[in-house]
Amino acid sequence: MAESVHAETWLYNTLSGDKGDGGLNHTDSAIKGRFYAYVLPAGSGYPAIVYSNQGGHDVMGVGASRVMASMVYQVKVVGRGKRADFGGIKAYADRIDELLHGKRGVLTSGRVVSCVREQIISYVEHAGDDVYSHLGGLYRLQVSNL
């Protein structure tokens, strides 16, 4: 069960740790520390990055031996405006992909064996006069306990 905790810790650390020039969490970035698991808190600013588990399965060895968990996470940037605006958030979605696709990492008690994008996410939602643009991807993470 801890594999999802490992995956989400790695996602948060990887995304929020991008503080260099052009990074998601650089002082000049419009993201300004807005990295959230599952939902944006009420009153949060935009753009923001949201990641959430979409499902997965256990990878089994012989018998009941669980080797790792193979999980799919939606990772996206969400922008808000008066119209759909993917151009305004594209650079952030591209940076998310640079940071995650083909990467791996080791945590204190777990390991992300691999992370690859399987599908693009691109859609809009309307709420009152506001339009929320979502751009990112579905990423498959192979995660094991150490």
Listed in sequence order, the residues at least 6 apart from 44 whose beta carbon sits closer than 8 Å to its beta carbon are: 34, 36
Q: How confident is the model at residue 2 (pLDDT cuts 50, 70, 90)?
A: confident
Q: Which helix (H) or strand (E) holds 118?
A: strand 110-127
Q: Specify the 3-state DSSP secondary structure of 102.
A: coil
- Of the two residues 65 and 36, the one the predictor is more confident about is 36
Does this model's pTM top 0.85?
A: yes
Structural domains present in the chain: 3-145 (3.30.2000.30)
Distance of alpha carbon 129 from the chain centroid: 27
Q: Assess whether pLDDT exceeds 90 at residue 39.
A: yes
Q: Assess whether pLDDT exceeds 70 at residue 136.
A: yes
On whether the CB atoms of residues 122 and 53 are closer than 8 A, the answer is no
Long-range contacts at 93-101 (CB < 8 A, ≥ 24 apart)? 93/135, 93/136, 93/137, 95/18, 95/22, 95/23, 95/24, 96/15, 96/24, 96/49, 96/136, 96/137, 97/137, 99/14, 99/15, 99/18, 99/24, 100/11, 100/14, 100/75, 100/139, 101/137, 101/139
Q: Specify the 3-state DSSP secondary structure of 16.
A: helix
On whether the CB atoms of residues 49 and 69 are closer than 8 A, the answer is no
On whether the CB atoms of residues 110 and 144 are closer than 8 A, the answer is yes
Q: Return the pLDDT at 1.
A: 61
Q: Assess whether pLDDT exceeds 80 at residue 138.
A: yes
